[in-house]
Amino acid sequence: MKSIIILIALLISVVFIRLNTEAIAEDTSAVKSIILPVIEGELKEGAGKDETAAFCNICHSTDYITMQPRLPADTWSAIVHKMIVVYGAPVNEDDSRTIINYLSSTYGAGK
Amino acid sequence: MGINDMEFSRRDFLKTAGAVGLAAAFGGFPSGLFAEERRLYKFPEKTDLILLTSRPPQLETPLHYFKELITPNNALFVRWHLADIPTSVDLSKWRLKVGGNTDRGLELSMDDLKKFERITYTAVIQCSGNGRSFFKPRIAGGQWQNGAMGNVTWSGARLKDILKQAGIRSGSVDVVFDGLDSGPLPKVPDFLKSLPVDKAIEDDIMIAYEMNGEPLTMLNGFPARLVVPGWFATYWVKALREITVVSKKYEEFWMKPAYRIPDNPCACVPPGSKPDKTVPITRMNTRSLVIGPSAGSTLKVNSAVDIMGIAFSGGYSIKDVIVSVDGGKSWREARCGTDMGRYSWIQWSHTWKPVEKGKYTIMARATNSIGESQPIESLWNPSGYMWNKIESVEVNVV
């Protein structure tokens, strides 16, 4: 029994030393890493806010919306359709109407 | 105490009302600067920069950094197109692949890259959309003010030497550059840019691995990026992974229809209209900026002040900068500082002693060595590129 415990201990230490050696062998000085901050975007209240946040956040933060100048409804519509056609945003006809309505009424320039 | 000296915590917001209040309190900064919400935020290897977007990151340099000839690495602007950007690179595994229509394929490690002759020069890096927020009518897109630019000393290998080692085959048309970034959805067009072969083999095109003597910051394209001095930064592909020589004109999304300008001498159309024909944006136009005194400053009558700023053009040295303090009625030639070469910006200054109280409009206009200058009225294009209108800075003399 005692010898088995010693054997296991030995095995563990061998594995540990191996892992350690590997860690040393992999030159960590060659790795450069950063951690990007996660910044919550804040959208104004309005009908369709949650859908807009959910779909737009797939590809980009919602500050892409909030930094824009007030845009006319047809510009918002063109932008949403560009996201679907060019970038492949998985937004169906109903959802796109909800999003366009939200953007035009919340961040719109009127007619 | 100016705005520069003030401490902002990470999530502080600068709102219009706050900015106006501060301007009143500290007597010296432009009420127009914060027309929309601008907040400062610290990203890795960066100082507090103006946050446009967080994912992918787009960060703008506050104007006061342009009082310096060289823009510090931690203050240089950041602009990525696609959300999946490289956040970790292992140089023991990273290779720059070169291939396509070449005699041989290369897989260059950083050590290999550093074996090529090292070249160094100072060059302005500027986003095509720098100044977009100033266009009228307004244009959707990254709402940059003047901080999507910087003046950096780049070091690296000549692209020409690398391409020579690979051996460009006859019939080659374009050279295509791909970075480590990618889109979060399969259909998002990967960010690839191309240069015509003749441009790619010009002496000054560089694969840069250092900025201001340090390795590139991750957000500015570690481990290596393309530097196309004189041309807009859209070509300066970051975190390079592959260079491909192609025998056909490369016209994928980020070359066409993206990053296009009207195909006419002014690269402009009547505001709000669309051009019939477009070409890829390429070389930077001539610009100057008044950095000090800042807009909205209060100056003392009968005491001299140095009006100072910067000027640059797309690869042609600045010939002169003229300054007006009366809204463009009369002009004086400014003194120019150290010439760091044709791709760098130049600092200029003009000493002015106002002898009467009142409001003054300071303007500056640069002209380069081939006669390119800046317009009084902005030239409009649908994407909001190439902003270079003569800036007006209002000051108050009391």
Contacts of B142 in chain A (CB under 8 A): 67
ipTM of the assembly? Answer: 0.87
Question: Contacts of residue B56 in chain A, CB cutoff 8 Å?
Answer: 60
Q: Tell which phi-psi region holds residue B213, choosing left (phi > 0), alpha (psi between -120 and 50) or beta.
A: left
Q: Give the confidence band of B357 by pLDDT, cuts at 50, 70, 90.
A: very high
Strand order through the sheet with B346-352: B287-292, B305-312, B346-352, B335-336
What is the rounded average pLDDT for all residues in chain A?
Answer: 84
- Residue B158 bridge partners (DSSP): B206
pLDDT at B205 over 50: yes
pTM above 0.95, yes or no: no
Q: Choosing among A28, A34, A84, which should be mutated to test the B contact, i.e. which has the most B CBs within 10 A?
A: A34
CB spacing of B143 vs A32 below 8 angstroms: no
Interchain contact, B185 vs A89, CB within 8 Å: yes
pLDDT band with cut points at 50, 70 and 90 for residue B32: very low
Q: What digits encode the pLDDT tens for the residues B160-171?
A: 999 999 999 999
Is B15 touching A (CB cutoff 8 A)?
Answer: no
Written as six digits, the tokens of B201 are: 């083999």
Q: Residue B37: its pLDDT value, please?
A: 60
- Distance, CA of B130 to CA of B318 (rounded, Å): 20
d(CA B42, CA B74): 10
| Residue of A39, A103, A104 to mutate when probing chain B, most B C-beta within 10 A | A39
Residues B336-361: what's their mean pLDDT? 97
A61 touches chain B (CB under 8 A): yes
pLDDT tens digits, residue range A23-56? Answer: 444 556 799 999 999 998 899 999 999 999 999 9
Cβ contact A61–B53 (<8 Å): yes
pLDDT at B38: 81
Residue B31 reports pLDDT greater than 80: no
Chain A residue with CA closest to B50: the answer is A67
Collapsing DSSP states into helix, strand and coil, what is residue B23? helix
> Which one of B43, B88, B133 has the shortest CB-CB distance to A37?
B43
Structural contact between residues B139 and A78, judged by C-beta atoms closer than 8 angstroms? no
| B183 Cβ neighbours under 8 A, 6+ residues apart | A59, A87, B82, B83, B84, B189, B190
Are B268 and B381 in contact by the 8 Å Cβ rule? The answer is yes
pLDDT of residue B13: 36
Per-residue pLDDT tens digits for B105-132: 999 999 999 999 999 999 999 999 999 9
Could you say which of B87, B183, B188 has the minimum Cβ distance to residue A33? Answer: B87
Which of A11 and B12 is assigned the larger pLDDT?
A: A11
At B359, is the pLDDT very low, low, confident or very high (cuts 50, 70, 90)?
very high
- For B184, name the nearest residue in chain A, comparing CA atoms only: A59
Whether residue B148 is predicted with pLDDT greater than 60 in this model: the reply is yes
Minimal CA separation from B261 to chain A, in Å: 19
For residue B133, which of A109, A68, A61, A4 has the smallest C-alpha distance? Answer: A68
Q: What is the mean pLDDT of residues A69-80?
A: 96
Contacts of B198 (CB under 8 A, 6+ apart): none
**pLDDT (0 to 100) of residue A93:** 97
- The whole-number average pLDDT for the span B77-106 is 98
What is the spatial distance between Cα A34 and Cα B88, in angstroms, rounded to a whole number? 6
CA B142 – CA A25 distance, rounded (Å): 44
Length of chain A: 111
- Which element (helix H / strand E) includes A51? helix A49-56
ω into residue B56 within 30 of 0, thus cis?
A: yes
User: To the nearest whole angstrom, how far is the Cα of B138 from the nearest Cα of chain A?
Assistant: 7
**pLDDT tops 70 at residue B237:** yes
pLDDT for B9 beyond 80: no
